Chain A
Amino acid sequence: MKKRNIWVILTGFVIGVAALALTELGNPGNMGFCIACFIRDISGALKLHSAEAVQYVRPEIVGMILGATIVSILAKEFKPRGGSSLMTRFVLAIVVMVGALMFLGCPLRMMLRIGGGDLNALIGLVGFIAGIFVGTLWLRGGFTLKRAYAQSLTEGSVLPAAVAVLMALAAFLPSLFAASESGPGSAHAPILISLGVGLVVGGLCQRSRFCTVAASRDAMLFKDFSMLWGFLAVIVTSIAGNLILGKFHLSFADQPVAHTDGIWNFLGMALVGWGSVLLGGCPLRQVILAGEGNSDAAVTVTGFLVGAAICHNFGLASSAKGPTANGMIAVIAGFVILAVIGLANRERTV
């Protein structure tokens, strides 16, 4: 087997096992990892929104960013770059967050939810793939956010440094931050374990370029199936692990941190898929790129943070009870925004 495939499958396997372990140690159900939910929790901890159930400085995110930073430095791949349509990326990130919080999870959590037997996530997956397909049509049509340029070491280090400081403050001065006393935000593995697991997964994702969107996107665009192996590895590991732990429950109803509205699960993930293709990678990949010194990705991660706050401040995020009317309007608006951004950034070179 090709070396790249081995890295990708190893990453998928480790993510699957790590997610199970984190859930066993306290993270919410089927939420060993969720880039969207975890950034949303950080947004809450920073008091950017006041949804009391989802406030916690998630060490996994910090670990993943710093893991990517450390490994990319060791591999001589830490390259500060940026300057590619920053505000457009910021807006795209907000749109992706609206879709993710409609569904209740980023693509990675969607895979983990499938691994736990959550059939709603299977509908999300169909939407996700449909959204990616639409995104690839734009890429084929000449969509581009224009090139990035080399940036200073300082510029590339801002986000990794900021999250390191955030983590230190959260560990030693926790009273600065809001912290959930009940709900998903209160459910978490011990800080050091979360941080350590995040570091390992972040480092592995840096090496393997793991991306949940690239899996389907590259298969559609180039018939390149290498990333799909990693995608499947997460799901297979997760299903196997949940079966072993007796946590596999195949159903639509009563799944942890999930709702059963099929249409909106589909549309939410379609928005995430399409938006992520325009951004050049899924939320997980953006976190890793940000760790590698890519300030475009750092702006995108900041967009996720702000997007999460918008979702909770304006009642756009779903809950276990289902989606909200505001959330539905926002998802539709999100599709319109993606179409406008797509139309405005076409460049025919042939």
Chain B
Amino acid sequence: MNMDIVDARGLLCPEPVVLTQRAIKNGTAALTVLVDAVAARENVTRFAASRGYAVSVSEQNGEFKLELSKK
């Protein structure tokens, strides 16, 4: 299991995507991204997919946990 976590809760786009971009720059195989806005969830998911990551989303109390794994 990879323990890398990007906490992008409360950040306005594009910051969650910028942070995700920075975190996967080194070809990380797995990464968890926390966001709390639907727009951020969509944008990070779209970005991760475009970079070849599978994304699974779980929601708790209006916050989203995005688990990225390299396909």
Residues of A within 8 A of B (CB): 4, 77, 79, 81, 84, 139-140, 144-145, 147-150, 209, 214, 217-218, 221-224, 226, 280-281, 289, 296, 349-350
Establish whether residues B46 and A4, one from each chain, have CB atoms under 8 Å apart when the complex forms.
yes
Establish whether residues A224 and B50, one from each chain, have CB atoms under 8 Å apart when the complex forms.
yes
A112 CA to B52 CA, complexed, in Å: 37
A107 CA to B13 CA, complexed, in Å: 19
Counting chain B CB atoms within 10 Å of each CB, which of A79, A140, A222 scores highest? A222
A81 CA to B22 CA, complexed, in Å: 25
- Chain B, 13-45, contact with A by CB distance < 8 Å: what is the 0/1 string? 111011101100000000000001111001000
A139 CA to B37 CA, complexed, in Å: 19
Neighbour of A221 across the interface among B14, B36, B50, CB < 8 A: B14
- Among residues of B, the one whose C-beta sits closest to the C-beta of A83 is B10
A148 CA to B8 CA, complexed, in Å: 10
Establish whether residues A222 and B17, one from each chain, have CB atoms under 8 Å apart when the complex forms.
yes
Q: Assuming A224-B47, A349-B19, what are 11 further A-B pairs, CB within 8 angstroms?
A: A77-B38, A79-B36, A81-B37, A139-B15, A150-B36, A218-B17, A221-B21, A222-B14, A280-B14, A281-B13, A296-B12
CB-CB < 8 A to B18: which residues of A?
139-140, 221
User: Taking the complex as formed, is B9 at the interface, i.e. its CB lies under 8 A from any CB of chain A?
Assistant: yes
A179 CA to B50 CA, complexed, in Å: 51
Establish whether residues A79 and B47, one from each chain, have CB atoms under 8 Å apart when the complex forms.
no
**How many residues of B sit at the interface, in one of the four size bands?**
20 to 34
Establish whether residues A221 and B17, one from each chain, have CB atoms under 8 Å apart when the complex forms.
yes
Known A79-B62, A209-B39, A350-B22: A84·B12 in contact at CB below 8 Å = yes
A77 CA to B22 CA, complexed, in Å: 28
Counting chain B CB atoms within 10 Å of each CB, which of A79, A147, A296 scores highest? A147
Establish whether residues B10 and A147, one from each chain, have CB atoms under 8 Å apart when the complex forms.
yes
- Across chains A and B, which 4 residue pairs bring their CB atoms closest together, nearest first? A147-B10, A280-B12, A148-B10, A209-B39
Min Cβ gap B48→A in Å is 11
A148 CA to B50 CA, complexed, in Å: 27
CB-CB < 8 A to B50: which residues of A?
222-224
Q: List 17 A-B contacts (CB under 8 A).
A: A79-B62, A81-B36, A139-B14, A139-B15, A144-B15, A147-B9, A147-B10, A148-B11, A217-B14, A221-B14, A222-B47, A223-B50, A224-B50, A280-B13, A296-B12, A349-B19, A350-B22
CB-CB < 8 A to A226: which residues of B?
46
Min Cβ gap A92→B in Å is 12
A174 CA to B12 CA, complexed, in Å: 37
A77 CA to B42 CA, complexed, in Å: 13
